[in-house]
């Protein structure tokens, strides 16, 4: 007698039913919860990707890599800063 693939599947299913029967409902519940979380995360990632492309198109005229109208640039760094003086004694 030769063991084939479907024989092994039947043996595994029987072993699960015999030895893991009390734990099967909790395992199925946790798998279902994990799938729900996974689906919601995928949905959020798709939403974020769509909003990022809209934001990129809307801010195409933004200046990158330069500081515009910074107080130190106006004061030419003559000891003036944009930090208010502290009232410590």
Express each pLDDT in 22-42 by its tens digit.
888 898 999 999 999 999 999
Instruction: Tell me the pLDDT band of 71, cut-offs 50, 70 and 90.
Output: low
- The residue that leads in pLDDT, 88 or 16, is 16
pTM of the model: 0.40
Please, what sign has the CA dihedral across residues 68, 70, 72, 75?
A: positive
At residue 34, the pLDDT reads: 96
Q: Do the Cβ atoms of 40 and 48 come closer than 8 Å?
A: no
């Amino acid at each position: 007698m030769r063991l084939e693939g479907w024989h092994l599947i039947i043996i595994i299913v029987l072993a699960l039913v015999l030895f893991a029967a009390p734990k099967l409902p909790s395992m199925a519940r946790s798998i279902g919860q994990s799938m729900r979380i996974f689906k919601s995360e995928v949905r959020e990632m798709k939403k974020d990707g769509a909003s990022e492309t809209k934001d990129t198109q809307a801010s195409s005229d933004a200046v990158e890599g330069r500081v515009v109208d910074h107080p130190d640039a106006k004061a030419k760094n003559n000891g003036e800063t944009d930090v208010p003086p502290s009232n410590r004694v």
